């Protein structure tokens, strides 16, 4: 799997719509999170508004993936090396970036 990187930024796929999450609802499936977060082909299908082809593509790579949240998939471009995590509430995913000045260390 190749990350989609342009102009020093990495594409991050997430699903900010209530119902079910794109990455967060697949943490126990066979697909690595990196594939669902960054795959070049999925990014291309979102950018060209071909969401109807995403499930077939994903299932051809990882048959056990739960392909819900496709309708609301969005791309956020983050500078390479940015630490982040996907947070989810009731299926609504958001991206939380690790800003050193906001995080506590024990």
Could you report the per-residue pLDDT of 31-73, keeping only the tens digit for each? 688 888 899 999 999 999 999 999 999 999 888 888 888 889 9
Q: Is residue 75 part of a domain?
A: yes
- Domain span holding position 91: 5-97
Q: Is residue 104 part of a domain?
A: no
Q: Is residue 29 part of a domain?
A: yes
**How many structural domains are present in the chain?**
1
60, 80 Cβ separation under 8 angstroms: no
Strand order in the sheet with 5-6: 5-6, 9-14, 74-79
pTM: 0.85
């Amino acid at each position: 799997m190749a990350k989609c990187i342009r102009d020093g930024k990495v594409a991050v796929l997430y699903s900010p719509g209530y119902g079910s999450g794109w990455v967060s609802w697949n943490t126990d499936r066979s697909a690595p999170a990196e594939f669902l977060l960054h795959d070049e082909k999925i990014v291309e299908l979102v950018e060209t508004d071909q969401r109807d082809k995403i499930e077939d593509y994903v299932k051809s790579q990882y048959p056990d993936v739960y392909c819900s949240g496709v309708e609301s998939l969005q791309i956020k471009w983050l500078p390479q090396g940015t630490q982040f995590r996907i947070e989810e509430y009731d299926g609504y995913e958001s991206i939380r970036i690790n800003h050193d000045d906001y995080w506590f260390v024990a």
